[in-house]
Amino acid sequence: MQNSAIDEPAALGLRERKKRARREALIDATHRLVAEHGLDAVTVDAICEEAGVSVRTFFNYFETKDDAVLGHTPWPLESAAADVFAAGGPTGHLMLDLQALVSSFLSDPPIGRERLARAIELAAKEPRLVARHLAWFEQHKGQLSALVERRLGQDGPHSPEMVGAVLLFLTHATFLRWDAAGGHGDADEHLASVVSELRSILSD
């Protein structure tokens, strides 16, 4: 409502800008209240009052209350990076390209860094949120497997599902490690350390 102009280049219409501002306002309101009272003590009604929006509208933006904390948004899987991966790039080595893909996911988060950090902080205290986050991941596993299959075909040595699962695992583990490190630094380093630790465990 107030300073949305500094966020977006205004290349988008008023409608779209308002929509985003509202989504963010709802996420912020949810974060404020949940941080203060805890997830279960906060009703959707309260969130909507805080954000100045009707309850019905809330559910036009998020499927569940938990999603508002996590800022869940449709998965940006139609990215350029995904196409590159499907086409066999960027390096041609499966494992390296998987890492590039994970890296692209992590470097382009669906909500801003600070909001993301706050969401993780809250999730650490509310196990249900972690579960929901995982469930959201899982929902897109099909798409992920399909992406992998676009690259490998279904007759290769690896099953697309397994590769997809690895992709998910790496993304999640790196994500956690990045957060454990205080949310600083590049996701890539953490990813590399996750991969090497995984290798080391498997060959022990």
Partner DNA sequence: CAGAAAAGTGCGTTCACTGCAAAGTTGCAG
Partner DNA sequence: CTGCAACTTTGCAGTGAACGCACTTTTCTG
Q: Which residues are near its own copies by CB under 8 A?
A: 93-95, 127-128, 130-132, 134-135, 138-139, 157-159, 161-163, 165-166, 169, 173, 176, 194-195, 197-204
Residue 124 neighbours by CB distance under 10 Å: 13
Give the separation between CA 141 and CA 143, rounded to whole angstroms: 5
| Smallest distance from its own copies to CB 162, Å | 6
Candidates 7, 8, 10, 18; binder of DNA (CB under 7 A) is 18
Residues in the chain: 204
Q: Please report how close the Cβ of residue 146 comes to DNA at its closest, in angstroms.
A: 25
Least separation in angstroms between CB 149 and DNA: 30
Is the Cα dihedral 95, 123, 16, 62 positive or negative? positive
- Taking the complex as a whole, the smallest distance from the CB of residue 108 to its own copies amounts, in Å, to 24
Cβ atoms of residues 71 and 115 within 8 Å: yes
Q: How far apart are alpha carbons 60 and 116 in whole angstroms?
A: 21
Q: Which residues have CB under 8 Å from 138's CB, separation 6+?
A: 168
Q: Contact between 107 and DNA (CB under 7 A)?
A: no
Q: Of the candidates 1, 14, 80, 202, which one interacts with DNA according to CB under 7 A?
A: 14
SS3 of 53, please?
coil
Q: Which is nearer to its own copies, 51 or 144 (CB)?
A: 144
* Shorter beta-carbon distance to its own copies: residue 27 or 195: 195
Cβ 81 vs Cβ 104: under 8 Å: yes
Which range, of 15-23, 102-110, 145-153, 179-187, touches DNA by CB under 7 A? 15-23
Cα 129 versus chain centre, distance: 13
The distance of closest approach from Cβ of residue 134 to its own copies in the complex, given in angstroms and rounded to an integer, is 5
Is residue 32 a contact residue for DNA (CB under 7 A)? no
Other CB atoms within a 10 A radius of the CB of residue 184 amount to 7
Chosen from DNA, its own copies, none, partner binding at 130 (C-beta under 5 to 8 Å by type): its own copies
- Which amino acid would we find at residue 81? A
Site for DNA, rule CB under 7 A:
13-16, 18-19, 22, 42-45, 53-57, 59-61, 63-66
